Amino acid sequence: MSQKKLRLIYNPFAGRRRLAGELDDVIRIFQEGGYEVCIHRTESPKDIEQTAAQSQDVDTLVIAGGDGSVHQAVNGLMKIDEQKRPVLGILPVGTANDLAYALKLPKARAEACKVINRDKILEMDLGMVNERYFVNVASAGLLTDVSPLVDIHMKNSLGQLAYYLKGLETLPSFRPFHVEFEHDGHLYSEDALLILAVNGLSVGGFKQLVPMASLSDGKLDFLIVKLSGWPETMRLLLKAVGRGKMKSEKVVQFQTEYLRITCDRESSSDLDGEWGPNSPWEIKVGPKIKVLC
């Protein structure tokens, strides 16, 4: 009987560089789980995607990093034929680990490795924006272009606080945008501050925005925050930071499998903390992917 093969892609800069000193233990635990282990040290998002796309030679692909690294790995894996596609394992060592939270993965590295050895599989929904996949959240509007702009050293020094501080810098220059979309037979035409399409259970560490969301229900949870005065906007944001639900007449919230959104100007999107397609957007539930949990 041939030995199972595992490829570990690790980002040496993720999670304040903590993984580098633990690699020997990580490899040992995987070998004890019956895996033949090969290591790929990555230095760029593009490299993660390319390496994942060429991983049909292994049974399991483990990505050590945050949501952005998982995003790149998934977009690479989905280029492999389903019959040859390896199962995805995650070691959550990033600044934001929203998908790991939704999967209830342990934060301790050794325990997360043992979860992968356990070989319990979830067939997880993927979201799609145009032709690009996302695992946790697609967003546009206020604060959503912050994550790709945060310096890696700032992330490592300040953790998730780095995103909030960078976000405050963008507030004075933010311009709301007009969006149109149809849902449940009703045509919406709104001046919007923020659009979220959520697949997981938390966004940027905010764990109560979509408390009923599921990774396997075949639907996405949408939140559209309508334009309001800055006092009301700040109240909603502070409520979100305090882990409260964003319930307000200024928030449109629903579940659906598909939504097409057009804007009055070309607008960028953010997928799992990485740059996504520009508008207009076709946002939908994509195929499932096998994830170890």
Number of other CB atoms surrounding residue 40 within 10 Å: 16
Residue 246 contacts residue 223 (beta carbons within 8 Å): yes
Q: Is 274 a catalytic residue?
A: yes
User: Distance between CA 228 and CA 191 in Å, rounded?
Assistant: 9
Mode of pairing for the β-strands spanning 186-198 and 177-183: antiparallel
Residues contacting 22, CB < 8 A, separation 6+: 109
Buried b / exposed e across 82-119, counting CB within 10 Å, b at 16+?
eeebbbbbbbbbbbbbbbbbbbebeeebeebbebbbee
Residue 35 contacts residue 6 (beta carbons within 8 Å): yes
Q: Environment class of residue 81 by beta-carbon count within 10 Å: exposed (0-12), middle (13-18) or buried (19+)?
A: exposed
Residue 259 contacts residue 50 (beta carbons within 8 Å): no
Catalytic, out of 22, 36, 182, 274 = 274
Nearest to 74 by CA among 293, 226, 286: 286
Q: Which residues are catalytic?
A: 274
